[in-house]
Structure 1
Protein backbone atom coordinates (compact mmCIF):
# COMPACT_ATOMS: atom_id res chain seq x y z
CA UNK A 1 0.00 0.00 0.00
CA UNK A 2 1.40 3.40 -0.96
CA UNK A 3 1.88 5.70 2.02
CA UNK A 4 1.56 9.46 1.96
CA UNK A 5 5.09 10.56 2.98
CA UNK A 6 4.50 14.30 2.64
CA UNK A 7 3.35 14.77 6.28
CA UNK A 8 6.39 12.77 7.41
CA UNK A 9 8.80 15.08 5.56
CA UNK A 10 6.97 18.17 6.83
CA UNK A 11 7.28 16.90 10.40
CA UNK A 12 11.00 16.14 9.91
CA UNK A 13 11.58 19.58 8.42
CA UNK A 14 9.82 21.24 11.35
CA UNK A 15 11.87 19.20 13.83
CA UNK A 16 15.07 20.09 11.97
CA UNK A 17 14.24 23.80 12.00
CA UNK A 18 13.35 23.64 15.68
CA UNK A 19 16.61 21.84 16.53
CA UNK A 20 18.64 24.32 14.49
CA UNK A 21 16.96 27.26 16.21
CA UNK A 22 17.65 25.66 19.60
CA UNK A 23 21.31 25.09 18.69
CA UNK A 24 21.68 28.70 17.60
CA UNK A 25 20.10 29.86 20.84
CA UNK A 26 22.47 27.72 22.86
CA UNK A 27 25.41 28.96 20.81
CA UNK A 28 24.42 32.59 21.29
CA UNK A 29 24.35 32.08 25.07
CA UNK A 30 27.89 30.73 25.11
CA UNK A 31 30.11 33.51 26.49
CA UNK A 32 33.25 32.08 24.85
CA UNK A 33 34.06 33.47 21.42
CA UNK A 34 33.69 30.74 18.73
CA UNK A 35 36.97 29.14 17.74
CA UNK A 36 38.91 30.52 20.72
CA UNK A 37 40.85 28.41 23.22
CA UNK A 38 42.96 28.97 26.31
CA UNK A 39 46.34 30.59 25.74
CA UNK A 40 49.17 30.09 28.22
CA UNK A 41 50.78 33.42 29.13
CA UNK A 42 53.45 32.14 31.51
CA UNK A 43 54.27 29.36 33.95
CA UNK A 44 57.04 31.07 35.91
CA UNK A 45 55.19 31.70 39.17
CA UNK A 46 54.73 29.85 42.46
CA UNK A 47 50.98 30.37 43.05
CA UNK A 48 49.01 33.06 41.23
CA UNK A 49 45.95 34.75 42.69
CA UNK A 50 43.78 37.85 42.90
CA UNK A 51 43.60 39.27 39.34
CA UNK A 52 42.07 42.74 39.11
CA UNK A 53 41.45 45.09 36.16
CA UNK A 54 42.11 48.82 36.22
CA UNK A 55 40.21 51.36 34.12
CA UNK A 56 42.55 50.92 31.17
CA UNK A 57 42.00 47.17 31.10
CA UNK A 58 45.45 46.32 32.49
CA UNK A 59 45.41 43.34 34.83
CA UNK A 60 47.27 43.07 38.13
CA UNK A 61 47.67 39.76 39.96
CA UNK A 62 49.62 38.30 42.86
CA UNK A 63 52.23 35.59 43.20
CA UNK A 64 51.65 35.08 46.91
CA UNK A 65 54.52 32.72 47.85
CA UNK A 66 56.99 35.05 46.13
CA UNK A 67 55.37 38.11 47.77
CA UNK A 68 54.93 40.01 44.49
CA UNK A 69 52.27 41.74 42.40
CA UNK A 70 52.54 41.56 38.61
CA UNK A 71 50.98 43.51 35.74
CA UNK A 72 49.69 42.07 32.47
CA UNK A 73 49.74 44.99 30.03
CA UNK A 74 47.56 45.87 27.07
CA UNK A 75 50.46 44.74 24.87
CA UNK A 76 50.23 41.24 26.46
CA UNK A 77 53.53 41.62 28.31
CA UNK A 78 54.24 40.84 31.95
CA UNK A 79 56.07 43.21 34.26
CA UNK A 80 56.74 43.27 37.99
CA UNK A 81 54.62 45.94 39.65
CA UNK A 82 55.60 45.48 43.29
CA UNK A 83 57.71 43.27 45.51
CA UNK A 84 57.38 43.05 49.29
CA UNK A 85 53.65 43.11 48.61
CA UNK A 86 52.40 41.99 52.03
CA UNK A 87 51.78 38.45 50.76
CA UNK A 88 48.83 39.94 48.92
CA UNK A 89 46.02 37.61 47.90
CA UNK A 90 42.78 39.11 46.55
CA UNK A 91 42.90 42.50 44.78
CA UNK A 92 40.38 45.05 43.50
CA UNK A 93 40.70 48.60 42.17
CA UNK A 94 38.70 51.40 43.73
CA UNK A 95 37.33 54.30 41.68
CA UNK A 96 40.37 56.45 42.45
CA UNK A 97 42.76 53.92 40.94
CA UNK A 98 44.06 52.58 44.25
CA UNK A 99 44.65 48.85 44.43
CA UNK A 100 42.89 47.38 47.47
CA UNK A 101 44.82 44.32 48.61
CA UNK A 102 44.19 41.52 51.08
CA UNK A 103 47.68 41.50 52.60
CA UNK A 104 47.67 38.48 54.84
CA UNK A 105 51.37 38.51 55.80
CA UNK A 106 50.25 40.52 58.83
CA UNK A 107 46.50 40.00 58.31
CA UNK A 108 45.89 43.47 56.94
CA UNK A 109 43.82 45.27 54.34
CA UNK A 110 45.94 47.62 52.20
CA UNK A 111 45.34 50.46 49.78
CA UNK A 112 48.18 50.69 47.24
CA UNK A 113 48.34 54.03 45.41
CA UNK A 114 49.45 54.21 41.76
CA UNK A 115 52.87 55.39 43.01
CA UNK A 116 53.01 52.20 45.17
CA UNK A 117 52.59 54.06 48.45
CA UNK A 118 50.89 51.72 50.92
CA UNK A 119 48.20 52.70 53.41
CA UNK A 120 47.11 50.07 55.94
CA UNK A 121 43.33 50.37 56.14
CA UNK A 122 42.71 47.64 58.73
CA UNK A 123 44.60 45.04 60.73
CA UNK A 124 42.21 43.86 63.45
CA UNK A 125 38.63 43.30 64.51
CA UNK A 126 38.15 45.06 67.86
CA UNK A 127 41.73 44.32 68.92
CA UNK A 128 41.97 40.76 67.62
CA UNK A 129 43.99 40.03 64.51
CA UNK A 130 42.06 39.11 61.40
CA UNK A 131 42.29 35.49 60.31
CA UNK A 132 43.77 36.55 56.95
CA UNK A 133 41.81 38.77 54.56
CA UNK A 134 41.34 36.72 51.41
CA UNK A 135 39.21 38.40 48.73
CA UNK A 136 37.83 41.90 48.27
CA UNK A 137 35.29 43.91 46.28
CA UNK A 138 34.75 47.69 46.28
CA UNK A 139 31.19 48.93 45.80
CA UNK A 140 30.22 52.01 43.71
CA UNK A 141 30.20 54.25 46.82
CA UNK A 142 33.71 53.19 47.85
CA UNK A 143 32.67 50.73 50.56
CA UNK A 144 34.91 47.68 50.83
CA UNK A 145 33.58 44.15 51.27
CA UNK A 146 36.09 41.42 52.16
CA UNK A 147 36.21 37.83 53.34
CA UNK A 148 38.33 36.66 56.27
CA UNK A 149 38.71 32.86 56.39
CA UNK A 150 41.51 31.12 58.29
CA UNK A 151 44.11 29.35 56.17
CA UNK A 152 47.25 28.55 58.14
CA UNK A 153 50.28 30.08 56.42
CA UNK A 154 53.82 28.76 56.78
CA UNK A 155 55.10 32.33 57.20
CA UNK A 156 52.98 32.97 60.31
CA UNK A 157 54.29 32.45 63.83
CA UNK A 158 50.79 31.89 65.23
CA UNK A 159 49.20 28.46 64.92
CA UNK A 160 45.58 29.34 65.73
CA UNK A 161 43.13 32.17 65.01
CA UNK A 162 42.41 34.92 67.53
CA UNK A 163 38.83 35.30 66.25
CA UNK A 164 36.11 32.73 66.90
CA UNK A 165 34.47 33.36 63.54
CA UNK A 166 35.37 33.39 59.84
CA UNK A 167 33.41 36.29 58.50
CA UNK A 168 32.24 38.56 55.77
CA UNK A 169 33.11 42.19 56.55
CA UNK A 170 32.25 45.67 55.30
CA UNK A 171 34.45 48.75 55.65
CA UNK A 172 32.68 52.04 54.98
CA UNK A 173 34.60 54.67 53.06
CA UNK A 174 36.70 56.71 55.48
CA UNK A 175 36.04 54.37 58.41
CA UNK A 176 38.73 52.69 60.52
CA UNK A 177 36.47 49.96 61.89
CA UNK A 178 35.02 47.12 59.79
CA UNK A 179 31.52 45.79 60.36
CA UNK A 180 31.06 42.03 60.69
CA UNK A 181 28.12 41.23 58.39
CA UNK A 182 27.79 37.43 58.24
CA UNK A 183 29.50 34.38 59.73
CA UNK A 184 27.20 31.59 58.47
CA UNK A 185 29.90 29.78 56.49
CA UNK A 186 32.03 26.70 56.86
CA UNK A 187 34.99 28.45 55.19
CA UNK A 188 34.17 31.39 52.95
CA UNK A 189 36.48 32.59 50.20
CA UNK A 190 35.74 34.59 47.02
CA UNK A 191 33.20 37.35 46.51
CA UNK A 192 32.04 39.82 43.85
CA UNK A 193 29.30 42.42 43.59
CA UNK A 194 27.31 43.74 40.67
CA UNK A 195 28.41 47.10 39.19
CA UNK A 196 25.16 48.77 40.27
CA UNK A 197 25.91 47.85 43.88
CA UNK A 198 22.64 45.97 44.33
CA UNK A 199 23.79 42.35 44.69
CA UNK A 200 26.67 40.51 46.33
CA UNK A 201 27.87 36.97 45.66
CA UNK A 202 29.89 35.13 48.32
CA UNK A 203 31.18 31.59 48.16
CA UNK A 204 31.45 29.09 50.98
CA UNK A 205 34.27 26.96 49.60
CA UNK A 206 34.29 24.72 52.67
CA UNK A 207 30.54 24.18 52.44
CA UNK A 208 30.46 23.69 48.67
CA UNK A 209 27.94 26.47 48.02
CA UNK A 210 27.74 29.97 46.56
CA UNK A 211 25.23 32.48 47.92
CA UNK A 212 23.65 35.66 46.64
CA UNK A 213 22.46 38.63 48.72
CA UNK A 214 20.59 41.83 48.05
CA UNK A 215 22.51 44.89 49.26
CA UNK A 216 19.88 46.85 51.17
CA UNK A 217 22.18 49.72 52.21
CA UNK A 218 25.94 50.25 52.65
CA UNK A 219 27.10 47.31 54.76
CA UNK A 220 23.60 45.83 55.05
CA UNK A 221 22.52 42.60 53.35
CA UNK A 222 19.15 40.87 53.09
CA UNK A 223 17.54 37.92 51.33
CA UNK A 224 20.48 35.52 51.49
CA UNK A 225 19.78 32.68 49.08
CA UNK A 226 21.56 29.76 47.49
CA UNK A 227 22.78 30.66 44.01
CA UNK A 228 24.68 27.48 43.13
CA UNK A 229 25.36 24.21 44.93
CA UNK A 230 29.04 24.68 44.19
CA UNK A 231 31.79 26.42 46.09
CA UNK A 232 34.73 28.14 44.47
CA UNK A 233 37.95 30.01 45.10
CA UNK A 234 37.58 33.30 43.18
CA UNK A 235 34.79 34.64 41.00
CA UNK A 236 33.92 37.33 38.49
CA UNK A 237 30.97 38.68 36.49
CA UNK A 238 30.54 39.62 32.84
CA UNK A 239 28.33 42.31 31.28
CA UNK A 240 25.47 39.84 30.80
CA UNK A 241 25.37 39.09 34.51
CA UNK A 242 26.93 35.65 34.12
CA UNK A 243 28.86 34.47 37.19
CA UNK A 244 32.22 32.68 36.77
CA UNK A 245 33.41 30.34 39.54
CA UNK A 246 37.00 29.10 39.69
CA UNK A 247 38.28 25.88 41.23
CA UNK A 248 38.50 22.79 39.08
CA UNK A 249 38.61 24.88 35.92
CA UNK A 250 35.98 27.58 35.41
CA UNK A 251 32.23 27.04 35.74
CA UNK A 252 29.86 29.66 34.31
CA UNK A 253 26.25 30.29 35.40
CA UNK A 254 23.78 32.79 33.99
CA UNK A 255 22.12 35.31 36.31
CA UNK A 256 19.28 32.90 37.11
CA UNK A 257 21.71 30.23 38.32
CA UNK A 258 21.45 28.04 35.22
CA UNK A 259 24.70 26.30 34.27
CA UNK A 260 25.99 27.62 30.94
CA UNK A 261 29.25 25.76 30.48
CA UNK A 262 32.53 24.59 32.01
CA UNK A 263 35.99 25.62 30.83
CA UNK A 264 38.71 23.06 31.46
CA UNK A 265 42.01 24.51 32.65
CA UNK A 266 45.03 22.17 32.47
CA UNK A 267 46.16 22.74 36.07
CA UNK A 268 45.30 21.10 39.38
CA UNK A 269 43.58 24.24 40.65
CA UNK A 270 42.20 27.46 39.17
CA UNK A 271 42.45 30.10 41.87
CA UNK A 272 40.84 33.20 40.40
CA UNK A 273 39.89 35.16 37.28
CA UNK A 274 38.83 38.54 35.94
CA UNK A 275 38.21 40.34 32.65
CA UNK A 276 40.59 42.82 31.08
CA UNK A 277 42.39 43.82 27.90
CA UNK A 278 41.94 46.78 25.58
CA UNK A 279 38.31 45.87 24.84
CA UNK A 280 37.80 44.26 28.26
CA UNK A 281 36.75 41.01 26.61
CA UNK A 282 39.76 38.95 27.67
CA UNK A 283 39.21 36.43 30.46
CA UNK A 284 42.39 36.29 32.56
CA UNK A 285 42.82 33.14 34.66
CA UNK A 286 45.27 32.49 37.50
CA UNK A 287 45.96 28.78 38.00
CA UNK A 288 48.74 27.76 40.38
CA UNK A 289 52.10 28.40 38.66
CA UNK A 290 50.44 29.58 35.45
CA UNK A 291 48.29 32.36 34.03
CA UNK A 292 46.04 31.95 30.97
CA UNK A 293 43.86 34.11 28.75
CA UNK A 294 40.73 33.33 26.75
CA UNK A 295 39.04 35.63 24.25
CA UNK A 296 35.33 36.03 25.03
CA UNK A 297 32.21 37.30 23.27
CA UNK A 298 31.24 39.08 26.51
CA UNK A 299 33.03 41.83 28.41
CA UNK A 300 33.79 42.90 31.95
CA UNK A 301 30.86 43.94 34.10
CA UNK A 302 31.28 47.69 34.69
Structure 2
Protein backbone atom coordinates (compact mmCIF):
# COMPACT_ATOMS: atom_id res chain seq x y z
CA UNK A 1 0.00 0.00 0.00
CA UNK A 2 2.86 2.38 0.80
CA UNK A 3 4.43 1.77 -2.63
CA UNK A 4 1.11 2.39 -4.35
CA UNK A 5 0.69 5.63 -2.37
CA UNK A 6 4.16 6.85 -3.37
CA UNK A 7 3.54 6.01 -7.03
CA UNK A 8 0.24 7.88 -6.91
CA UNK A 9 1.91 10.86 -5.24
CA UNK A 10 4.66 11.10 -7.87
CA UNK A 11 2.13 10.56 -10.65
CA UNK A 12 0.16 13.49 -9.32
CA UNK A 13 3.32 15.61 -9.13
CA UNK A 14 4.17 14.80 -12.76
CA UNK A 15 0.71 15.93 -13.81
CA UNK A 16 1.18 19.25 -11.98
CA UNK A 17 4.50 20.18 -13.59
CA UNK A 18 4.21 23.35 -15.67
CA UNK A 19 6.68 23.93 -18.52
CA UNK A 20 5.66 26.81 -20.78
CA UNK A 21 8.97 27.17 -22.64
CA UNK A 22 10.08 23.55 -23.11
CA UNK A 23 12.78 23.77 -20.47
CA UNK A 24 12.32 20.19 -19.23
CA UNK A 25 13.43 17.17 -21.26
CA UNK A 26 10.56 15.37 -22.97
CA UNK A 27 9.06 12.64 -20.78
CA UNK A 28 11.47 13.51 -17.94
CA UNK A 29 10.26 12.51 -14.49
CA UNK A 30 10.98 13.97 -11.09
CA UNK A 31 13.01 11.32 -9.26
CA UNK A 32 13.80 11.04 -5.58
CA UNK A 33 17.51 10.35 -5.16
CA UNK A 34 17.57 9.67 -1.44
CA UNK A 35 15.66 10.53 1.74
CA UNK A 36 16.17 10.17 5.46
CA UNK A 37 18.00 13.46 6.03
CA UNK A 38 17.06 16.08 8.62
CA UNK A 39 17.14 19.15 6.35
CA UNK A 40 19.02 19.39 3.05
CA UNK A 41 20.55 22.62 1.76
CA UNK A 42 23.43 24.24 -0.08
CA UNK A 43 23.89 22.16 -3.27
CA UNK A 44 27.14 22.96 -5.07
CA UNK A 45 28.26 21.29 -8.30
CA UNK A 46 31.86 20.19 -8.85
CA UNK A 47 33.76 20.31 -12.14
CA UNK A 48 32.81 16.69 -12.80
CA UNK A 49 29.13 17.38 -12.22
CA UNK A 50 28.81 15.75 -8.79
CA UNK A 51 26.78 17.61 -6.18
CA UNK A 52 27.84 18.35 -2.61
CA UNK A 53 25.01 19.33 -0.29
CA UNK A 54 24.47 19.82 3.42
CA UNK A 55 22.41 17.88 5.93
CA UNK A 56 22.53 20.92 8.15
CA UNK A 57 21.00 19.73 11.46
CA UNK A 58 23.21 16.62 11.33
CA UNK A 59 26.27 18.83 10.77
CA UNK A 60 27.57 17.05 7.69
CA UNK A 61 28.24 17.59 4.01
CA UNK A 62 27.08 14.89 1.62
CA UNK A 63 28.32 14.03 -1.87
CA UNK A 64 26.10 12.70 -4.65
CA UNK A 65 27.92 11.13 -7.59
CA UNK A 66 26.32 11.86 -10.94
CA UNK A 67 27.93 8.80 -12.54
CA UNK A 68 27.15 6.17 -9.89
CA UNK A 69 24.00 7.74 -8.45
CA UNK A 70 25.30 7.02 -4.96
CA UNK A 71 25.29 9.37 -1.99
CA UNK A 72 27.97 9.33 0.70
CA UNK A 73 29.21 11.46 3.58
CA UNK A 74 31.98 13.84 2.45
CA UNK A 75 32.58 15.66 5.74
CA UNK A 76 31.41 15.23 9.33
CA UNK A 77 31.64 18.12 11.82
CA UNK A 78 31.02 20.45 8.90
CA UNK A 79 30.51 23.66 10.89
CA UNK A 80 26.73 23.43 10.42
CA UNK A 81 27.37 24.46 6.83
CA UNK A 82 24.50 25.92 4.85
CA UNK A 83 25.00 27.49 1.41
CA UNK A 84 28.04 26.38 -0.62
CA UNK A 85 29.77 27.06 -3.94
CA UNK A 86 32.89 25.72 -5.68
CA UNK A 87 35.65 28.16 -6.56
CA UNK A 88 37.82 27.87 -9.68
CA UNK A 89 40.51 25.98 -7.79
CA UNK A 90 38.06 23.23 -6.87
CA UNK A 91 37.71 24.25 -3.25
CA UNK A 92 34.26 24.00 -1.71
CA UNK A 93 33.41 27.36 -0.13
CA UNK A 94 30.88 26.95 2.70
CA UNK A 95 28.81 29.22 4.92
CA UNK A 96 29.78 27.58 8.23
CA UNK A 97 26.92 28.64 10.47
CA UNK A 98 28.24 27.08 13.71
CA UNK A 99 30.73 29.89 14.36
CA UNK A 100 29.49 32.30 11.70
CA UNK A 101 32.44 31.76 9.39
CA UNK A 102 33.23 31.23 5.71
CA UNK A 103 35.27 28.09 5.09
CA UNK A 104 37.30 26.85 2.15
CA UNK A 105 37.34 23.04 2.04
CA UNK A 106 39.74 21.12 -0.20
CA UNK A 107 39.01 17.77 -1.86
CA UNK A 108 40.41 15.93 1.17
CA UNK A 109 38.05 17.73 3.54
CA UNK A 110 40.68 20.02 5.06
CA UNK A 111 39.28 23.43 5.94
CA UNK A 112 40.69 26.95 5.93
CA UNK A 113 38.77 29.82 7.55
CA UNK A 114 38.44 32.67 5.07
CA UNK A 115 36.20 35.00 7.09
CA UNK A 116 35.29 34.92 10.79
CA UNK A 117 34.33 38.51 11.56
CA UNK A 118 33.77 42.01 10.23
CA UNK A 119 35.21 45.01 12.10
CA UNK A 120 35.90 42.85 15.13
CA UNK A 121 32.39 41.39 15.41
CA UNK A 122 31.06 38.01 14.35
CA UNK A 123 28.83 37.77 11.33
CA UNK A 124 25.17 37.02 12.08
CA UNK A 125 25.14 33.65 10.34
CA UNK A 126 26.36 33.45 6.73
CA UNK A 127 23.61 31.76 4.74
CA UNK A 128 24.43 31.58 1.05
CA UNK A 129 27.05 32.77 -1.42
CA UNK A 130 27.87 33.27 -5.07
CA UNK A 131 31.30 33.42 -6.71
CA UNK A 132 31.71 35.41 -9.93
CA UNK A 133 33.69 34.11 -12.93
CA UNK A 134 36.62 36.27 -11.81
CA UNK A 135 36.61 34.96 -8.24
CA UNK A 136 34.81 37.70 -6.30
CA UNK A 137 32.39 36.44 -3.67
CA UNK A 138 29.02 37.77 -2.49
CA UNK A 139 27.64 36.49 0.81
CA UNK A 140 24.24 36.91 2.47
CA UNK A 141 24.29 37.27 6.25
CA UNK A 142 20.80 37.05 7.80
CA UNK A 143 20.11 36.44 11.48
CA UNK A 144 18.32 33.15 12.07
CA UNK A 145 18.96 32.50 15.76
CA UNK A 146 20.33 29.01 16.41
CA UNK A 147 19.94 27.09 19.67
CA UNK A 148 23.59 25.98 19.42
CA UNK A 149 24.94 29.54 19.60
CA UNK A 150 26.35 30.66 22.95
CA UNK A 151 27.70 34.06 21.92
CA UNK A 152 26.87 37.46 23.34
CA UNK A 153 24.26 39.15 21.09
CA UNK A 154 26.35 42.32 21.23
CA UNK A 155 29.13 40.52 19.37
CA UNK A 156 27.18 40.29 16.10
CA UNK A 157 26.55 42.77 13.30
CA UNK A 158 24.18 45.75 13.51
CA UNK A 159 22.05 44.56 10.60
CA UNK A 160 21.46 41.79 8.09
CA UNK A 161 23.61 42.69 5.12
CA UNK A 162 25.01 41.54 1.81
CA UNK A 163 28.83 41.31 1.80
CA UNK A 164 31.58 41.30 -0.82
CA UNK A 165 34.90 39.45 -0.61
CA UNK A 166 37.51 40.27 -3.24
CA UNK A 167 39.18 37.58 -5.33
CA UNK A 168 42.48 38.06 -3.49
CA UNK A 169 40.57 37.72 -0.17
CA UNK A 170 41.97 41.04 1.11
CA UNK A 171 38.86 43.23 0.91
CA UNK A 172 35.70 42.30 2.82
CA UNK A 173 32.86 44.79 3.12
CA UNK A 174 29.07 45.20 3.08
CA UNK A 175 27.70 46.21 -0.32
CA UNK A 176 24.01 46.47 0.61
CA UNK A 177 23.00 47.42 4.16
CA UNK A 178 19.36 48.05 3.26
CA UNK A 179 18.00 44.52 3.32
CA UNK A 180 15.62 42.97 5.84
CA UNK A 181 16.74 39.32 5.82
CA UNK A 182 18.80 38.36 2.73
CA UNK A 183 19.02 34.69 1.84
CA UNK A 184 19.37 33.04 -1.61
CA UNK A 185 21.78 34.48 -4.14
CA UNK A 186 22.94 33.82 -7.70
CA UNK A 187 24.65 35.78 -10.46
CA UNK A 188 24.75 35.72 -14.23
CA UNK A 189 27.59 33.77 -15.90
CA UNK A 190 29.01 36.94 -17.46
CA UNK A 191 29.48 38.43 -13.99
CA UNK A 192 27.39 41.50 -14.81
CA UNK A 193 24.29 40.97 -12.68
CA UNK A 194 23.46 39.64 -9.23
CA UNK A 195 20.13 38.40 -7.88
CA UNK A 196 19.52 38.42 -4.13
CA UNK A 197 16.47 37.10 -2.35
CA UNK A 198 15.17 39.02 0.67
CA UNK A 199 12.39 36.89 2.20
CA UNK A 200 12.13 39.41 5.01
CA UNK A 201 10.87 41.95 2.49
CA UNK A 202 9.20 39.32 0.28
CA UNK A 203 11.31 40.43 -2.69
CA UNK A 204 14.08 39.33 -5.02
CA UNK A 205 16.38 42.14 -6.14
CA UNK A 206 18.52 42.45 -9.24
CA UNK A 207 21.76 44.47 -9.23
CA UNK A 208 24.39 45.54 -11.71
CA UNK A 209 27.88 44.48 -10.63
CA UNK A 210 30.29 47.34 -11.22
CA UNK A 211 33.95 48.09 -10.56
CA UNK A 212 35.66 46.77 -7.41
CA UNK A 213 32.70 44.63 -6.37
CA UNK A 214 30.26 47.46 -5.81
CA UNK A 215 26.62 47.12 -6.84
CA UNK A 216 24.34 49.63 -8.55
CA UNK A 217 20.85 49.99 -10.00
CA UNK A 218 19.08 47.80 -7.47
CA UNK A 219 15.61 46.98 -8.74
CA UNK A 220 12.84 44.60 -7.77
CA UNK A 221 12.99 41.50 -9.94
CA UNK A 222 10.16 39.63 -8.19
CA UNK A 223 7.63 40.44 -5.50
CA UNK A 224 8.36 37.22 -3.62
CA UNK A 225 11.12 35.74 -1.53
CA UNK A 226 13.13 32.61 -2.15
CA UNK A 227 15.40 30.32 -0.19
CA UNK A 228 18.09 29.14 -2.61
CA UNK A 229 18.24 30.06 -6.31
CA UNK A 230 19.99 29.11 -9.52
CA UNK A 231 20.07 30.27 -13.14
CA UNK A 232 20.18 28.61 -16.57
CA UNK A 233 22.05 29.72 -19.71
CA UNK A 234 19.00 31.61 -20.97
CA UNK A 235 18.95 33.74 -17.84
CA UNK A 236 15.88 32.10 -16.31
CA UNK A 237 15.87 32.17 -12.50
CA UNK A 238 14.85 29.12 -10.47
CA UNK A 239 13.43 29.98 -7.05
CA UNK A 240 12.44 27.80 -4.10
CA UNK A 241 10.20 27.70 -1.05
CA UNK A 242 7.01 26.02 0.09
CA UNK A 243 5.73 25.70 -3.48
CA UNK A 244 8.63 23.64 -4.89
CA UNK A 245 10.69 25.13 -7.71
CA UNK A 246 9.30 27.98 -9.80
CA UNK A 247 11.00 29.33 -12.91
CA UNK A 248 10.92 32.95 -14.08
CA UNK A 249 12.33 34.51 -17.24
CA UNK A 250 14.28 37.77 -17.54
CA UNK A 251 11.00 39.70 -17.68
CA UNK A 252 9.94 38.25 -14.29
CA UNK A 253 7.24 36.12 -15.92
CA UNK A 254 6.54 32.71 -14.43
CA UNK A 255 7.30 30.12 -17.11
CA UNK A 256 7.58 26.90 -15.12
CA UNK A 257 6.73 25.09 -11.91
CA UNK A 258 8.10 21.82 -10.53
CA UNK A 259 6.12 20.81 -7.42
CA UNK A 260 8.13 18.84 -4.86
CA UNK A 261 6.43 16.41 -2.43
CA UNK A 262 8.09 17.90 0.67
CA UNK A 263 7.18 20.58 3.21
CA UNK A 264 9.93 22.91 2.00
CA UNK A 265 12.19 23.18 -1.02
CA UNK A 266 15.41 24.84 0.11
CA UNK A 267 17.75 25.04 -2.85
CA UNK A 268 18.54 23.99 -6.40
CA UNK A 269 21.45 23.69 -8.83
CA UNK A 270 22.34 22.18 -12.21
CA UNK A 271 24.37 18.96 -12.06
CA UNK A 272 26.15 16.52 -14.34
CA UNK A 273 28.99 17.20 -16.78
CA UNK A 274 26.47 18.74 -19.19
CA UNK A 275 24.75 20.69 -16.37
CA UNK A 276 21.34 19.47 -17.55
CA UNK A 277 20.23 17.65 -14.41
CA UNK A 278 18.33 19.89 -12.03
CA UNK A 279 19.28 18.82 -8.50
CA UNK A 280 16.88 19.86 -5.75
CA UNK A 281 17.32 19.85 -1.96
CA UNK A 282 13.99 19.66 -0.16
CA UNK A 283 13.46 19.07 3.55
CA UNK A 284 14.39 15.44 4.25
CA UNK A 285 15.18 14.39 0.66
CA UNK A 286 16.99 15.29 -2.54
CA UNK A 287 15.52 15.04 -6.06
CA UNK A 288 16.52 15.37 -9.70
CA UNK A 289 14.89 15.96 -13.07
CA UNK A 290 16.44 16.15 -16.54
CA UNK A 291 16.29 19.44 -18.40
CA UNK A 292 16.66 20.61 -22.00
CA UNK A 293 18.38 23.78 -20.86
CA UNK A 294 21.68 23.70 -19.05
CA UNK A 295 22.91 25.59 -16.03
CA UNK A 296 26.00 27.72 -15.84
CA UNK A 297 27.48 26.54 -12.50
TM-score between the two structures when normalised by the length of structure 2 = 0.90
CA deviation string 1:11-31 (max 9, x = no partner): xxxxxxxxxxxxxxx967131
Pair 1:300-2:295 in alignment: yes
Residue 268 of structure 1, aligned match among 263, 267, 273:
263
Tell me the equivalent position of 2:42.
Answer: 50
> Contact 1:214–1:222 (CA<8 Å) still a contact in 2?
yes
Tell me the equivalent position of 1:198.
Answer: 192
> Contact 2:19–2:257 (CA<8 Å) still a contact in 1?
no
Residue 275 of structure 2, aligned match among 276, 280, 301:
280
Residue 178 of structure 2, aligned match among 159, 184, 194:
184
SS in 1 for 2:185: strand
> Contact 2:20–2:256 (CA<8 Å) still a contact in 1?
no
SS in 2 for 1:65: helix
Q: CA deviation at 1:37?
A: 2.3
Tell me the equivalent position of 1:155.
Answer: 148
Aligned-partner Cα distance in 2 for 1:203–1:286: 17
Q: CA deviation at 1:111?
A: 0.6
CA deviation string 1:179-237 (max 9, x = no partner): 11002222110100111110000000111110100101231111101111110000000
Give 1:214-229 correspondences, 5 Å limit. 214-229=208-223
Aligned-partner Cα distance in 2 for 1:120–1:27: 42
Aligned-partner Cα distance in 2 for 1:301–1:189: 20
CA deviation string 1:15-63 (max 9, x = no partner): xxxxxxxxxxx96713112222211111111100000111111110000
Structure number with larger C-alpha Rg: 1
Instruction: Give the number of equivalent residue pairs.
Output: 277
Pair 1:73-2:65 in alignment: yes
Aligned-partner Cα distance in 2 for 1:160–1:42: 38
> Contact 2:20–2:255 (CA<8 Å) still a contact in 1?
no
> Contact 1:121–1:176 (CA<8 Å) still a contact in 2?
no
**Compared CA separation, residues 247 and 159, structure 1 to 2 (3 A):** farther
RMSD of equivalent CA atoms: 1.5
SS in 2 for 1:218: helix
Aligned-partner Cα distance in 1 for 2:171–2:109: 24
Unmatched 5+ stretches in structure 1: 1-25
Residue 243 of structure 1, aligned match among 234, 237, 241:
237
> Contact 1:30–1:260 (CA<8 Å) still a contact in 2?
no
SS in 1 for 2:296: coil
SS in 2 for 1:29: coil
